[in-house]
Amino acid sequence: MLKQRLLTAIILIPFFIFLVLKLSPQLFCFFTALAVVWGAWEWSFLMEIKLFPYYLIYPLFTIFVLVMANFLPVVPILYVTLVWWLVAACLVIRYPKNSTRWEKSIIMRGLMGLFVLIPCWVAVNALRSAPHGIHILLFLFVLIWGADSGAYFFGKKWGKHKLMPQVSPGKTWQGLLGALLTSTLIALLGLMIFKIPYLLWPIAFMWIWVTVLFSILGDLFESMLKRQAGLKDSGHLLPGHGGILDRIDSITAAAPIFALGLNISHWI
């Protein structure tokens, strides 16, 4: 499994970096929209829609929402998304006690998917189109990839105390510490490379840690829905990683929160 994960990462990471560096904002927007639509197709299985052609309805509706999102201002979407992820945190913390409020509703789980996927797409493309957006977006992805890797290896090596066993039995407090330590080192390097004034470092570190914590929430939220649907992975597209959702679950929460922090700090 580890070999598959590493091989897939070795292929995907350079490919993604190439797309960020070389594609125009319009083509990058289109490419990320394709990833979101694929994620919506996988989300239909989290909604427990298993019959053809019914599981195609949700991806098609997601395309419509993506088009509509182009006509909405970015900043209000980010604030609404912050509220959504705070609600999602409550759902994760209280799972499975309050799952009866949404587990039987396809509409509720479908709305959850839109709140997860659409704002992520908006935030990623807003960052990519901003001044110095290529470097900022690459920093965000390196930050989350590093945090994920830190959590994985710290958890494998020292993980003893379960973080939320009712949601994701494999995640530990030691893994969470590994994610924060790794992201701190990456953040320190990034702040030096971007020559951020020292007076802004405390704010920068605070929001970077918040972003990483939300990335973990995104992972836990998808794990909760997979557990509810009786699925180990959202799909089988990526060997060792599962589906698209399994690969982007951390970014779905991290990207909007990171973009909101930049907006609040007036860094963009």
At residue 243, the pLDDT reads 82
Residue range 2-26, pLDDT digits in tens: 566 666 667 778 888 888 899 999 9
Whether the predicted pLDDT of 89 surpasses 90: yes
* Mean of pLDDT over the chain: 89
CB 246 within 8 A of CB 234: yes
Q: Centre a 10 Å sphere on the Cβ of residue 178 and count the other Cβ atoms it contains.
A: 24
Q: CA separation (Å) from 223 to 7, 87, 251, 263?
A: 23, 16, 14, 29
Write out the H or E segment, with its range, that includes residue 268: none
- Determine the Cα–Cα distance for residues 17 and 27; give it in Å rounded to an integer: 14
Give the per-residue pLDDT at 55.
80
Q: How many domains would you assign to the chain?
A: 1
Q: What is the pLDDT of residues 148-185, one digit of tens each?
A: 999 999 998 998 899 999 999 889 999 999 999 999 99
pTM, rounded to two decimals: 0.92
Q: Which residues form the domain of 187?
A: 2-265
For residue 268, pLDDT beyond 50: no
Give yes or no for residue 51 having a pLDDT over 50.
Answer: yes
pLDDT at residue 199 greater than cutoff 60: yes
**Residue 241: what pLDDT?**
55
- 93-106 pLDDT, tens digit per residue, is 999 887 777 878 88
Asked if the model's pLDDT at residue 227 lies above 50, the reply is: yes
Looking at residue 4, its pLDDT comes to 60
